[in-house]
Structure 1
Amino acid sequence: MASFRHYKTLLKRWTLLLLPLTLGLILFLQGYQPGLSQSAYPAIRGVWITNNDTIHFMDQGRTQESINQLARLNFNTLYPVVWNSGYILYESAIAKREGLQPFSPRGDQGQDVLADLIQRAHRQGLLVLPWFEFGFMAPPFSELVRKHPQWFTQRQDGSKTSVTAAGEVMWMNPFHPQVQKFITDLVLEVVTQYDVDGIQFDDHTALPNQFGYDPYTVALYQQEMKTAPPSNPKDPAWIRWRADKLTAFIAQLNQAIKARKPQILFSLSPATYNLAYQTYLQDWLDWVRKGLVDEVIVQVYRTQLASFIEPLQRPEFQEAKLRVPTAVGVLTGLKTKQVPMALVAEKVRAAMNQGLGIAFFYYKTLWEIAPEDKQSRLSQFQALFRSPAPRSLAQKFVPQLPPIPLAPSSATDKSSTPAPRSPQAPKNPVTTKSPRPTVVSPQPPRDNFPPEPTLTVPVIPAPSTGASSIKPAPQPVDNFPPEPTLDPEVSPLLF
């Protein structure tokens, strides 16, 4: 009898000892990451609200209906456009000063559309991050180009335009202090004026590698490097220099935003890394590593499931999701190229299997422009997000990797010797010397969408009591992804 009691005592002791070891082994084999549970921080479930979505959000009733629907489907984040085609699409003192709003941004009931959207979304528990879609781009016919031609950069041959999915555009020089101040002022105006949860920038807060041969940038490069810029725009050192300059501005912009509202999110939606860095000088993985980005949504607009999955497995995705909330941009359709819901669902499941969130491009193609009927699409979206995933700024994402500190610039690094200034060179250049991320990935497959033409339609100006008349202005158009054709949707008001 005594031996039996002794056996039971030993068994209890061994059970208490082995249970935590067994549990730890199970968690290890399942890939458990201490400090971050996949369920502890909700995945991004977002949607971009573009200019093609105007009708839903100019009317307060439709706005409420749309917000209610998204909340029922367990979405948690909205990205409404506020900067497009050189026009400011919210109530803006800067727009009035610069002449960049030849229309009324007010809604059908006279409301501030962005403020109304934010208020209604917050009541339903959705975050709102206004989206500066056009970044440094502006159409050549825009008031911004006519008023500030010196702000725009050029190619080596002196040409200043490029043809993109948004049509023909010019690029503001992201290294020019006046351009940096203009963009910063716009962003801070939104941050200060509205109850936003963050600000989103995308793949146009960048510069194509063919550009940067304007007098200002050439003088700046000569001052720092003691030689002219390379004639090859793809020269690795020339790409690195310009990418570092862009990173320095992003650091300043992040600091300015956080000084106003420290808790809001600095969101970025870039292209896949190699395309972003090599072609558009946007070293977004470096931004993530340095703690300049609070969430990243990588645009992966692919027509086939296999080509969609491949980028998700690249090292930059794997690293980014350990540092910040990371999601993938999924195309739900275009006006002239509708996407079947079965393909959308496969992409969503593939992303979720990789531990990634989702953001859909764009609202109207969720179920309004689609090959299936609306009710069928709604039920399938409901099946994708079966349970709520509420987000709030009070939630804190716990990174698995610490941020890499920003390297000191030559303006603040007292150990560096400042370069002598030439009469034509800009004063107080900002430089950074950060290593290029060691990420080697294959070039992404190209989608088979031809570019869409530039769309110019009249805009009915707001009533005015003055004698002066406002000339018709071109309506901003969506820029990503491209469409074969775009049917004009004339609206007297833009959002």
Structure 2
Amino acid sequence: MRYFIFLQCCFFMCFVQAQAPYGAIRGVWVTAQDSVLDSKTNIQKAVDNCKKAGINNIYVSTWNRGRTLYPSAIMMERFGIAIDPRFGKRDPLKELIDAAHVENIKVHAWFEYGFAAASGDSGAYLLKKYPYYAAIGLDGKGVEKNGFTWMNAFHPLVQNFVKSLVLEVVKKYDIDGIQGDDRMPAVPSTAGYDLYTVAEYKKEHNRLAPPANHLDSNWIQWRAKRLNKFGKDLYQSVKAAKPNVLVSMAPGIYPSSLQDYLQDWPTWLREGYVDYVIVQLYRYKLDEYEKILQETIQRVGGKKDRLYAGVLIGLGDGYRIKPELLKGMLELNQKYDLPGEVFFYYSALPKLGKVLKRQ
């Protein structure tokens, strides 16, 4: 009986590998709030824990609260701060890549903050030095949402700044992939009322100003297409620099991703300027998880082999998923033939252990 189950598992894994172009991913996000990057010892311990839990991909925060988590020549030139000061003269990104690659674990540079400049006061210096970087709402004030202060994702100079950070990592490191999330490419749908974006809109609409209703469907689509264009350019630029570096995105659930952050990620998949998406299917009940999983699968059409589930296993406020719930979510992912999942986030991983592995 055990041998039969083993053969079933082997068949499933081979089937996934054959069908999904990027294979069976079992990943985890490492945030800047984790203590993982604080020392080489912590990094090695985290890699060991990931190996024991069957993790084969690590998505590590690389851009957070207006700071890079690696020594950046671009940040040094523009702002005089090469790396988040907590890391001193270390290079935690390289240390993680080196340790993970020894264990055949892939590492992806996760540009966690994307077009979000700041959270609270941290990172606010970006907009103080370059005020035109700021996203502007209908009231003429800077855009804030969910505790984040945002940059103008439509402005070409801001886009070039963010892209330059991504390409710096791609060219400098033996990285396996780069990743954006619900903040790249993204901006709150209340944004777009700055002088540059309004002028661009008027050029295409007989000098008419954008609608005052930020949820106007045509206004939503016009801005989303601008972000789509950036995403396509970013994808092509990464591939031109290093063709083997993967480009993944971890957006929110559609269509709220479009309505709230102008992220039209089904188009990214359909038009081929993202290798795969990890949708944040963050739910606290199994029936709700299955419902949103079914809806998301319908959104991707024939691209299900490029869809991975983002699974919430813990938060900084003390939430930890119950093993029974996690097991149920993993079983649903298998039931619907998803090629894998990525867990948010690492701090909850050590205590969950073998539960994270698919059976």
> Is this a same-fold pair by TM over 0.5?
yes
* 1:339 aligned residue: 321
Q: How does 1:288-303 map to 2 (within 5 A)?
A: 288-303=269-284
* 2:245 aligned residue: 264
* 2:129 aligned residue: 147
Contact persistence 1:81–1:130 (CA under 8 A): yes
Which one of 7, 16, 33 corresponds to residue 38 of structure 1?
16
Contact persistence 1:43–1:325 (CA under 8 A): no
For the pair 1:385 / 2:351, whether they are aligned, the reply is no
Q: How does 1:109-128 map to 2 (within 5 A)?
A: 111-128=90-107
* 1:282 aligned residue: 263
Structure 1 vs Structure 2: percent identity of aligned residues? 39
What is the Cα deviation at residue 37 of structure 1? 3.7
- Secondary structure of the residue that 2:28 maps to in structure 1? strand
Listed one character per residue, the Cα deviations across residues 243-297 of structure 1 (whole Å, up to 9, x for unaligned) are 1111111111111111100111111000111011122111100010011010110
* 2:56 aligned residue: 76
* 2:65 aligned residue: 85
- Secondary structure of the residue that 2:58 maps to in structure 1? strand
Q: Distance in 2 between matches of 1:131 and 1:269?
A: 10
Decide whether aligned partners of structure 1 residues 313 and 81 sit closer, same or farther in structure 2, where only a CA change above 3 A counts: same
Asked which structure has the greater RCO (Cα within 8 Å, sep 6+), the reply is 1
What is the Cα deviation at residue 319 of structure 1? 2.8
* 1:176 aligned residue: 155
Q: How does 1:344-383 map to 2 (within 5 A)?
A: 344-356=326-338, 357-367=340-350, 374=351, 377-381=352-356
Contact persistence 1:80–1:130 (CA under 8 A): yes
Q: Distance in 1 between matches of 2:323 and 2:171?
A: 39
For the pair 1:216 / 2:189, whether they are aligned, the reply is no
TM-score, length of structure 1 as denominator length: 0.64
Q: How does 1:301-312 map to 2 (within 5 A)?
A: 301-312=282-293
* 1:255 aligned residue: 236
TM-score, length of structure 2 as denominator length: 0.88
- Secondary structure of the residue that 2:33 maps to in structure 1? helix
Unaligned runs of 5+ in 2: 1-13
What is the Cα deviation at residue 57 of structure 1? 2.9
For the pair 1:186 / 2:165, whether they are aligned, the reply is yes
Amino acid at match of 1:181: N
Q: Distance in 2 between matches of 1:197 and 1:260?
A: 13
Q: Distance in 1 between matches of 2:49 and 2:133?
A: 42
* 1:413 aligned residue: none
Decide whether aligned partners of structure 1 residues 198 and 102 sit closer, same or farther in structure 2, where only a CA change above 3 A counts: closer
Moved more, 248-257 or 315-324: 315-324
Amino acid at match of 1:183: V
* 2:7 aligned residue: none
Decide whether aligned partners of structure 1 residues 302 and 103 sit closer, same or farther in structure 2, where only a CA change above 3 A counts: closer
What is the Cα deviation at residue 348 of structure 1? 1.7
For the pair 1:98 / 2:78, whether they are aligned, the reply is yes
Q: Distance in 2 between matches of 1:92 and 1:217?
A: 29
Q: Distance in 2 between matches of 1:364 and 1:115?
A: 21
Amino acid at match of 1:125: N
Listed one character per residue, the Cα deviations across residues 339-381 of structure 1 (whole Å, up to 9, x for unaligned) are 22221221122122212211111101123xxxxxx3xx32433
Decide whether aligned partners of structure 1 residues 192 and 48 sit closer, same or farther in structure 2, where only a CA change above 3 A counts: same
Contact persistence 2:134–2:143 (CA under 8 A): no
Q: Distance in 1 between matches of 2:100 and 2:298?
A: 29
Amino acid at match of 1:186: L
- Secondary structure of the residue that 1:38 maps to in structure 2? helix
Amino acid at match of 2:355: Q
Q: Distance in 1 between matches of 2:163 and 2:260?
A: 24
- Count the aligned residue pairs: 335
Q: Distance in 2 between matches of 1:38 and 1:339?
A: 26
Moved more, 336-345 or 150-159: 336-345
Decide whether aligned partners of structure 1 residues 317 and 189 sit closer, same or farther in structure 2, where only a CA change above 3 A counts: farther
Amino acid at match of 1:146: K
Q: Distance in 2 between matches of 1:320 and 1:269?
A: 18
- Secondary structure of the residue that 1:254 maps to in structure 2? helix
Aligned CA RMSD, in angstroms, stands at 2.0
Contact persistence 2:145–2:188 (CA under 8 A): no
Amino acid at match of 1:172: M
Decide whether aligned partners of structure 1 residues 201 and 324 sit closer, same or farther in structure 2, where only a CA change above 3 A counts: farther
What is the Cα deviation at residue 323 of structure 1? 5.7
Contact persistence 2:135–2:192 (CA under 8 A): yes
Decide whether aligned partners of structure 1 residues 193 and 321 sit closer, same or farther in structure 2, where only a CA change above 3 A counts: farther
- Structure number having the greater strand percentage: 2
- Secondary structure of the residue that 1:160 maps to in structure 2? coil
Q: Distance in 1 between matches of 2:355 and 2:154?
A: 46
* 1:49 aligned residue: 30
- Secondary structure of the residue that 2:59 maps to in structure 1? strand
What is the Cα deviation at residue 112 of structure 1? 1.7
Contact persistence 2:188–2:260 (CA under 8 A): yes
- Secondary structure of the residue that 2:260 maps to in structure 1? helix
